[in-house]
Amino acid sequence: MNYRHEFHAGNFADVFKHAILCRILHHLRGKPAAFRVIDTHAGAGLYDLASAAAERSGEWHDGIEKLLSAEISAEVAALLAPYLEAVSACNSGGRLRIYPGSPTLIRALLRPQDRLIACELEPKAHLALARNLRGDSRVKILELDGWVALNAYVPPKERRGLVFVDPPFEAGSDFSNLVSGLTAAHRKWATGIYALWYPLKGRRDADLLARRLGRAGLPKVLRAEILVAPLGDPARLGGAGMILVNPPWTLESELSAILPALIRVFGGAGEAHFSSGLACGGTRTERSLMYGLFPQGRSWCVVPYWQ
């Protein structure tokens, strides 16, 4: 395990995934019944943006820093408020120095009755996570393989909640683990919400993922993607995507407001990438996943899978 999230914390892909994560949590808080979140690849929980790693990559300057200094509409500001308030709570004096990872954002949105299980396999990151989230009886931190946790901890006893799956994709197997892990977990807990992040460096892996999930026959899936740079360079993250199973019913329209705003902040890759990956055959469901992507001139998409 060589992946270290401190190089990438707060980049455009983190903003994208964390904004979606916080919308889902906001929705779960809408009912009094308790929920549980299982964060399978949790990372260290907090990231110092002045660290050598963050300084060296500088990725957060093009992510959270740009978002915080951008002018956004009142509608989008309201949708991003649960996320941006949690970021702000980790910083003082209006200065951005610490970026919260997924378990910290999740904890910020737990109520007394809610629970979080956060798994991290890399020993140093696990130690940091345990330190950063210590002293909260609602939170269980485990040094455990997230793919094992995905199967072992569903369904949670609350029968409401979210599984957040955010692997590092340093091993080629993570794309296929997403399909096998999700389909097995969904068989055990069909009503849970699942949010799976994936990188976009080219279209091949992402479109194969969509086709394989299409064949798995999950009934309610939303696919959201943004593109900020040309695809095709395997060393560069050009975009990011999320597969959202059983999404809150409001999420599609919320993302239709949030994603174009993020693209305006980050600068989208635009039309240049429109054509890639669209030529596919297959079932109607598979085609709607593919053909809906990046309509002319757009660098974002939200594609419901069940249309």
Which residues are near ligand SAM by CB under 6 A? 1, 3, 5, 41-43, 101-102, 119-122, 125, 145-147, 166-168
80: which 2 tokens? 């991003």
**At closest approach, how far in Å is the CB of 281 from ligand SAM?**
33
Say how many C-beta atoms besides its own lie within 10 A of residue 188's C-beta: 13
Q: Which residue is nearest to ligand SAM (CB)?
A: 101
**At closest approach, how far in Å is the CB of 184 from ligand SAM?**
15
Q: How far apart are the first and last CA of the chain?
A: 39
CA atoms within 13 A on the CB side of 250: 11
Residue closer to ligand SAM, measured from CB, 228 or 293: 228
Give me the helices (H) in 49-98, please. Answer: 52-57, 64-69, 74-89
Residue closer to ligand SAM, measured from CB, 145 or 252: 145
**At closest approach, how far in Å is the CB of 164 from ligand SAM?**
7
Say how many C-beta atoms besides its own lie within 10 A of residue 299's C-beta: 26
* CB-CB contact of 111 with 158 (8 Å): no
Residue closer to ligand SAM, measured from CB, 87 or 221: 87
166 labelled catalytic: yes
Cα distances (Å, whole numbers) of residue 14 to 21, 89, 168, 272: 10, 17, 12, 24
**At closest approach, how far in Å is the CB of 159 from ligand SAM?**
24
**Backbone φ and ψ of 249, nearest 5°:** -65, -25
**At closest approach, how far in Å is the CB of 113 from ligand SAM?**
24
* CB-CB contact of 24 with 162 (8 Å): yes
**Backbone φ and ψ of 163, nearest 5°:** -110, 120
Residue closer to ligand SAM, measured from CB, 5 or 36: 5
Q: Which of 14, 62, 114, 166 is catalytic?
A: 166
Residue closer to ligand SAM, measured from CB, 15 or 293: 15
* Positions marked active-site: 166
